[in-house]
Amino acid sequence: MKNLKSFMVLLIAQLLLAGVVFASEIKTFNQEEFDEAKKSGDVILLDFYATWCPTCKKQQPIIKEVLSQEQFSSVVAFKVDYDSATDLKAEYKIPRQSTLVVLKGDQEKGRSIAPTTKEAITELLNKGF
């Protein structure tokens, strides 16, 4: 059992070092972190999400899967509460929930309303690079 545990730890470490395992976190929107990401010139994903929205629920595992890819490991992703982020919705002219916006720093590079395929979300995120 000890050898199996040691083997698993070694395997995970090797995968991490080889860049095979990627983890992009989707953060709850925070204005300070958002401002810092814009200032740093990061690629940013704003996911205008509502808990009651079936399309938003469908998007979540797909967004997570796409963000786990190596080419998107540097994306700073924020889940924005559609129902309470009134000022941010007005600033970015968000017409409805399930809208995704990609920024590079403070410049908008792309947006999509209700994309639910891996291909569409990948294409959208690529606009930030």
Q: What is the enclosing helix (H) or strand (E) of 11?
A: helix 2-18
- What is the mean pLDDT of the segment spanning 79-89? 97
Residue type, 21: V
The predicted model scores a pTM of 0.81
User: Is 97 annotated in the active site?
Assistant: no
Catalytic residue among 21, 26, 50, 53: 53
% of the chain surpassing 70 pLDDT: 81
Q: What is the bridge-based pairing of β-strands 76-81 and 26-28?
A: parallel
Q: What band does 19 get if pLDDT is binned at 50, 70 and 90?
A: very low
| CATH T-level fold of 22-126 | Glutaredoxin (3.40.30)
Catalytic residue among 56, 76, 124, 125: 56
- What is the mean pLDDT of the segment spanning 51-73? 97
The CB-side HSE value for 111 (13 A sphere, CA atoms) comes to 15
User: Is 40 annotated in the active site?
Assistant: no
- What is the mean pLDDT of the segment spanning 21-25? 58
Residue with the bigger pLDDT between 86 and 19: it is 86
Residue spans of the domains in the chain: they are 22-126
